[in-house]
Structure 1
């Protein structure tokens, strides 16, 4: 526990980092702006992917969306949903089991912290997935 005996162990504290940041900011202010058309405080425009055919706005990020995403992956892995690229359904029981297990972990870790609708949705989806998994075997 004595650090004095080991000369190679040193704690280096960089107390100068704030000054370095300040100097970098000043240097940036002094340099001429390379792109005058893009002000630094303005947010970047949305990517073009959102305007592609079939693409829309993302739904709000919430717990039920997370449940739905994991359940969809599990159903697809059980062969209930075809692959959009090929149109063919394929079975991957190990992936389906993993998705169901992930939802079970969410159920365990969020116990007592969900509102009644979220809790009911999670229980229902888990029940449906487990029954579908047993039927697919």
Structure 2
């Protein structure tokens, strides 16, 4: 059984004319270049998608401070919050309010200067009163 003038594929180890490479080496090189090109394009697309995702998340902030309602009560107790009133001096104006954990801070503007009240939100008691007076 002889091949009539045909050379079997991939058995010809003679270099291509004008090149030191065989046809098999050129084919492998072409495949390697195509695969690496696809990997480069995929990598760039991944980087662009990551940048776009991060850019859309810039304005979104996760609240990492635990809410008052999230605190677990001792066993057997129900979560009940009572309403309370905070008394402020006559003519006082609330300039600013800030909540931090279970503390409420009120900045009051009064005729003599200002006051800062720190109030415990669990029982409504004034923990601290800081008077702000001009010199």
User: Which category of TM-score, normalised to the shorter sequence, fits these structures?
Assistant: under 0.3
Could you tell me the TM-score, scaled by structure 1's length? 0.17
Bigger Cα Rg: 2
